[in-house]
Amino acid sequence: MYRKILVPLDGSPTAECILSHARALALSEGAEIILLNVVPGPALEFAFADPTIAARSLEEQEASGRQYMQSVQTELEASGFKVSSLFGQGSPAEGILSVAEQLQVDVIAMSTHGRSGPARWLLGSVAEHVVRHSGQPVLMVRAGV
């Protein structure tokens, strides 16, 4: 049933909480794990103030993200999983939804901070946006569970 599992990661321990669940699902289904890192674009005022600095910041974020994703991919491959890594830039939620649709993944597996009230309203929720707009099933795990 599940052949492609999309696992968005941002480098945080919160995001990594999904990895044990993704491993178990991939193992039981013989599925491929597709890791995704979406680097948010620079704030508009920052980009217009000095595009050179904005470009350098994005390059540094992407290099750091690639190094991080390679370490996660290597660890999963060493455990016998079929894994690939993808990178994007822009809105994390829209990037996740776009990749999920393009690759026709069977499930999106991700974790959430579990914020509520004003914190969620002020910071937004990538996970909530993905759940509301995804055409694919979403496996959501609250961090720390």
Which CATH fold topology does 4-142 show? Rossmann fold (3.40.50)
What is the residue extent of each domain of the chain?
4-142
Report the share of the chain in percent with pLDDT over 70.
81
Which pLDDT tens digit goes with each residue over 6-26? 999 998 898 999 999 999 999
DSSP secondary structure string for all residues of 10-52: -SSHHHHTTHHHHHHHHHHHTPEEEEEEEEPPPPHHHHHH-HH
Which pLDDT tens digit goes with each residue over 40-52? 766 544 555 666 7
pLDDT of 122:
41
pLDDT of 54:
67
